[in-house]
């Protein structure tokens, strides 16, 4: 009897843990699946989630399919690309920030790969949709509130007819967008090795191109970088900006794949494929299909721009524009030089970027409205049947020079130099730095040298100073000719840069420092042409209302320069108005800006 009881007890203690274990295993193996509810409508879609210490993550592929968007992994599952209408977001696994419409998006928690699938936080996906997402674990539902995605024609109605005409003749047409970007934020988030020597305080707009229609993954996470098959192209349709000092459009060679076996081994080059279309040359015959015909007006005027290496695609766009009832002579051409780049959509293709500069609008409100929602639509064109391209011949480079120099201003510059030394030498030691031509290489020169030229444009003459350590008490004095007042540029400015990441601060323009030399030194009033000279200061605290304050990088986001870090000054001079080719000034025709570094005695 005792033995039977012992056997029963032993069996009981064996079975209870086993039953409990089996029951628990059933619960833990059941995936965390939720019903997707989009704008109060339950979709026939389930989305898996998993919890982390920092919050839930959703299966990106399932979610984007459920909301009617597009998802692709980055090569080797190292990140994610998500598109909803025109809106495109990207993020690398483990990064603190992704980007949506090229604006920073906190990744809380960071996206990751698990079991061969990619997972992203709710906040990132909500930004891609421009909506809101709530997770209800008890009800097992993902509740999404989002606007209907924008389609072709919603921003520029004419683009709908052009797209339809292109589809009729055998093209797949996909929409992208053009977005305000911030080079410092892109760098600090880890998506660029530097801040491109950003023109501080001035907007850059760049195209976010959709991935090729047959792509299985993205080559790189950043969608302001794109590849093109030799028979593909991008089309911009819309209106030129509101009146401003300067704008331009140009495709760029962004980075070069260095390896035949490792697609991530790349060198950033960031050089233009040729001279830009700008607000001063936009009516030049060479840019149009029919010289002498109607032209695009510089401001707030309808245009179509084709960016491609392929003549057939260009001709097809001209025909489609006509088919849509529009004027083919409003079509401009941006040639992607096939001699400079390895075209294709394979993992080893070189990458392209398209940049739209826009500076100093006459009406600040109109300018802000334009950069926040440009009156432009972006189309990617892919022939349904691949073909060999009929390559376009690139335009000849434009020539600098007007024959007019600033030499007559040298006596005034020398007088200003002596006045500055006399004013500051009692309290400070003074070191005068040399000034050089900066970013002088372009196109094949930069590519062959494997040199990163930071998105330069020949519409500008760039100058920079030698390096200095920007200490706590350092004062930097910049001075020289206001080249706009001297009729050698349409606008010019000065900024201070961190030497390691080329992150810039200041953007002090000719309008801001106009006639400041005469104002600062009234004793120079009898010096001829002193009103065409300027002076400005960069320091750690405001010395007066003509000082730009450079703060420390307290948040580690590259929005400052730490004490004693190396720095340099740089100067931009856009478009010599006297130059027949309407391009940046000839360096032999201007007096280089000057720099003094002051330290307390």
Name the one residue in this structure whose structure tokens are 């998802």.
71
The whole-angstrom distance between residue 348's C-alpha and the CA centroid of its chain comes to 22
Answer for the pair 313, 329: CB distance below 8 angstroms, yes or no.
Answer: no
Closest CA to 282 of 271, 298, 267, 266: 298
pLDDT in tens, 337-364: 999 999 999 999 999 999 999 999 999 9
pLDDT over threshold 80, residue 209? yes
Which residues of the chain are in CATH 2.60.120 domains? Answer: 407-600
Report how far apart the first and last C-alpha atoms of the chain are (Å, whole number). 104
CATH of the domain spanning 407-600, picked from 1.10.8, 2.60.120, 2.30.30, 2.60.40: 2.60.120
pLDDT at residue 292, rounded to an integer: 82
* Domain 33-145 CATH class label: alpha beta
CA dist., res. 141 & res. 576, Å (int): 61
Closest CA to 357 of 374, 369, 336: 374
Burial class (CB in 10 A: 0-12, 13-18, 19+), 357: buried
pLDDT in tens, 137-183: 999 999 999 999 999 999 999 999 999 999 999 999 999 999 999 99
Answer for the pair 394, 274: CB distance below 8 angstroms, yes or no.
Answer: yes
> What single DSSP character describes residue 241?
P
Which residues of the chain are in CATH 3.30.457.10 domains? Answer: 33-145
Is residue 89 helix, strand or coil?
strand
Answer for the pair 323, 167: CB distance below 8 angstroms, yes or no.
Answer: no
Closest CA to 455 of 236, 204, 187, 266: 204
pLDDT over threshold 60, residue 313? yes
Q: DSSP states of 287-332 as a string?
A: GSSSTTS----SSS-EEEEEEESBHHHHHHHHHHHHHTTS-GGGEE
Is residue 367 helix, strand or coil?
helix
For 143, residues 6+ apart whose C-beta sits below 8 A from its C-beta are 37, 133, 134, 135, 136
CA dist., res. 392 & res. 402, Å (int): 30
CA-to-CA separations, 45 to 18, 130, 356, in angstroms, rounded: 35, 20, 40
pLDDT over threshold 70, residue 27? no
- Output the average pLDDT for the chain: 94
* pTM for the full predicted model: 0.93
pLDDT in tens, 70-119: 999 999 999 999 999 999 999 999 999 999 999 999 999 999 999 999 99
CA dist., res. 152 & res. 86, Å (int): 9
What kind and span of H or E run contains 488? none
pLDDT in tens, 453-508: 999 999 999 999 999 999 999 999 999 999 999 999 999 999 999 999 999 999 99
pLDDT over threshold 80, residue 62? yes
Kindly state the tokens that stand for 310.
């392929």
């Amino acid at each position: 009897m005792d033995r039977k009881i012992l056997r029963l007890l032993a069996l009981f203690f064996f079975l209870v843990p086993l039953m409990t274990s089996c029951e628990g295993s059933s619960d833990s193996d059941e995936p965390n699946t939720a019903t997707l509810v989009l704008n109060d409508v339950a979709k026939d879609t389930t989305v898996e989630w998993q919890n982390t210490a920092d919050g839930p993550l959703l299966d990106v592929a399932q979610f984007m399919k459920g909301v009617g968007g597009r998802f692709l992994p980055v090569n080797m599952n190292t990140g994610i690309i998500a598109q909803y209408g025109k809106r495109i977001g990207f993020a690398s696994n483990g990064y603190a920030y992704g980007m949506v419409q090229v604006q920073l998006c906190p990744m809380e928690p960071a996206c990751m790969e698990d079991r061969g699938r990619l997972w992203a936080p709710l906040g990132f996906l909500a930004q891609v949709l421009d909506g809101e997402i709530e997770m209800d674990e008890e009800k097992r539902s993902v509740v999404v509130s989002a606007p209907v995605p924008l389609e072709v024609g919603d921003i520029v109605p004419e683009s709908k007819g052009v797209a339809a005409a292109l589809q009729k003749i055998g093209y797949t047409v996909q929409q992208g967008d053009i977005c305000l970007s911030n080079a410092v934020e892109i760098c600090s988030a880890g998506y660029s090795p530097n801040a491109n020597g950003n023109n501080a305080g001035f907007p850059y707009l760049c195209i976010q191109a959709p991935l090729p229609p047959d792509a299985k993954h993205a080559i790189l996470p950043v969608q302001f970088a794109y590849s093109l098959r030799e028979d593909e192209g991008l089309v911009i349709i819309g209106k030129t900006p509101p009146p401003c000092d300067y704008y331009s459009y140009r495709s760029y060679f962004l980075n070069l794949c260095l390896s035949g076996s490792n697609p991530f081994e790349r060198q950033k080059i960031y050089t233009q494929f040729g001279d830009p279309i700008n607000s001063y040359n936009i009516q030049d015959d060479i840019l149009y299909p029919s010289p002498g015909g109607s032209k695009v007006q510089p401001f707030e005027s309808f245009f179509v721009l084709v960016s491609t290496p392929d003549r057939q695609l260009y001709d097809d766009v001209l025909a489609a524009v006509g088919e849509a009832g529009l004027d083919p002579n409003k079509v401009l051409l941006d040639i992607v030089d096939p001699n400079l780049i390895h075209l294709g959509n394979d993992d080893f293709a070189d990458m392209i970027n398209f940049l739209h500069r826009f500076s100093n609008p006459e009406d600040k409100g109109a300018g802000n409205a334009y950069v926040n929602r440009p009156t432009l639509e972006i189309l990617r064109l892919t022939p349904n049947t691949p073909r060999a391209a009929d390559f376009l011949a690139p335009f000849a480079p434009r020539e600098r020079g007007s024959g007019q120099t600033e030499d007559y201003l040298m006596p005034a510059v020398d007088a200003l130099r002596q006045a500055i030394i006399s004013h500051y030498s009692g309290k400070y030691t003074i070191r005068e730095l040399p000034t050089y031509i900066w970013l002088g290489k372009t196109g094949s020169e930069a590519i062959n040298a494997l040199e990163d030229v930071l998105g330069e444009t020949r519409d500008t003459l760039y100058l920079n100073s030698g390096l200095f350590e920007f200490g706590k008490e350092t004062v930097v004095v910049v001075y020289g000719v206001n080249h706009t007042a001297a009729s050698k540029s349409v606008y010019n400015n000065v900024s201070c840069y961190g030497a390691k990441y080329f992150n810039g601060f200041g953007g002090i323009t000719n309008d801001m420092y106009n006639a400041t030399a005469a104002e600062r030194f009234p004793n120079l009033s009898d010096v001829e042409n002193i009103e065409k000279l300027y002076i400005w200061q960069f320091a750690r605290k405001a010395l007066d209302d003509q000082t730009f304050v450079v703060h420390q990088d307290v948040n580690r986001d590259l929005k400052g320069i730490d004490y004693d870090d190396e720095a340099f000054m740089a100067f931009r001079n856009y478009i010599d108005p006297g130059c027949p080719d309407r391009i940046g000034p000839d360096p032999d025709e201007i007096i280089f800006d000057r720099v003094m570094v002051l330290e307390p005695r």
